Amino acid sequence: MESISLKCPAKVNLSLDVVGKREDGYHLLRMINQSVSLYDYIKVEKFKKGIVVTSNKYDIPLDSSNTCYKAAKCILEKFQIDSGVKIHIEKNIPYGAGLGGGSSDAAGVIKAMKELFNLNMSLEDMMNIGVLVGADVPYCIVNRTSLVEGIGEVVTPIEKIEDLYIVIAKPKVNISTKEVYSKLKLDEINKRPDIDKLLNYIKAKNYKMLASNMVNVLETVTLVEYPILNEIKNIMLEFNAEGSIMTGSGSAIIGVFQDKKQAEICYNRLRDYLKDVFLVKTVNEGV
Q: What is the domain-level CATH number for residue 214?
A: 3.30.70.890
Neighbours of 186 (CB within 10 A): 12
User: Could you tell me if 243 and 256 are in contact, meaning their C-beta atoms sit under 8 angstroms apart?
Assistant: yes
**pLDDT value at position 233?**
97
**pLDDT value at position 188?**
84
- Helices 260-271 and 227-238: crossing angle, nearest 10°? 140
pLDDT tier for residue 255 given thresholds of 50, 70 and 90? very high
Which residue among 11, 70, 111, 233 is the active-site one?
Answer: 11
Q: Which of 114, 121, 153, 123 is nearest to 33 (CA)?
A: 153
Neighbours of 143 (CB within 10 A): 23
Q: Is 97 annotated as a binding residue?
A: yes
Asked whether residue 148 falls in the same domain as residue 229, the answer is no
Last residue of some domain: 157, 183, 199? 157
| 103-124 confidence digits (pLDDT tens) | 999 999 999 999 999 999 999 9
Asked whether residue 94 falls in the same domain as residue 25, the answer is yes
Mean pLDDT, residues 128-155: 95
Asked whether residue 141 falls in the same domain as residue 101, the answer is yes
Distance CA 130, CA 223 (A): 30
Q: How far are the Cα atoms of 83, 113, 130 from residue 73, in angstroms, in the given order?
A: 11, 11, 12
- For residue 225, give its domain range: 165-283
Q: Is 95 annotated as a binding residue?
A: yes
Distance CA 92, CA 87 (A): 16
User: Could you tell me if 116 and 108 are in contact, meaning their C-beta atoms sit under 8 angstroms apart?
Assistant: no
Asked whether residue 80 falls in the same domain as residue 125, the answer is yes
Last residue of some domain: 157, 184, 212? 157
8-state DSSP, 239: T
Can you point out the beta strands (E) in 188-259? Answer: 243-246, 253-257
| 10-59 confidence digits (pLDDT tens) | 999 999 999 988 888 788 999 999 999 999 999 999 999 999 999 999 88
| 161-171 confidence digits (pLDDT tens) | 998 999 999 99
**pLDDT value at position 7?**
95
Residue 261 has pLDDT above 80, yes or no: yes
Neighbours of 157 (CB within 10 A): 14
Distance CA 273, CA 277 (A): 9
Please tell me whether residue 3 adopts helix, strand or coil conformation. strand
Tell me the percentage of the chain whose pLDDT exceeds 90.
87
Alpha-helical (H) ranges within 37-80 are: 67-78
Q: Is 103 annotated as a binding residue?
A: yes
pLDDT tier for residue 287 given thresholds of 50, 70 and 90? low
> Of how many residues is the chain composed?
287
Q: Is 134 annotated as a binding residue?
A: no
Rounded to the nearest integer, the mean pLDDT of the chain is 95
Residue 286 has pLDDT above 80, yes or no: no
CATH code of residue 13: 3.30.230.10
Q: Is 71 annotated as a binding residue?
A: no
Active site residue 136: yes
Distance CA 50, CA 76 (A): 9
Asked whether residue 149 falls in the same domain as residue 171, the answer is no
Asked whether residue 14 falls in the same domain as residue 137, the answer is yes
Mean pLDDT, residues 224-230: 94
Q: 154 burial class (0-12, 13-18, 19+ CB within 10 angstroms)?
A: middle
Asked whether residue 34 falls in the same domain as residue 104, the answer is yes
Asked whether residue 130 falls in the same domain as residue 174, the answer is no
Asked whether residue 110 falls in the same domain as residue 227, the answer is no
Which residue among 17, 40, 105, 136 is the active-site one?
Answer: 136
Last residue of some domain: 157, 180, 200? 157
Rg over CA atoms, the chain: 19
Q: Is 218 annotated as a binding residue?
A: no
Q: Is 20 annotated as a binding residue?
A: no
Asked whether residue 192 falls in the same domain as residue 237, the answer is yes
Asked whether residue 78 falls in the same domain as residue 147, the answer is yes
Mean pLDDT, residues 172-201: 91
State if pTM tops 0.85. Answer: yes
Domains held by the chain: number: 2
**pLDDT value at position 285?**
83
Asked whether residue 169 falls in the same domain as residue 153, the answer is no
**pLDDT value at position 178?**
87
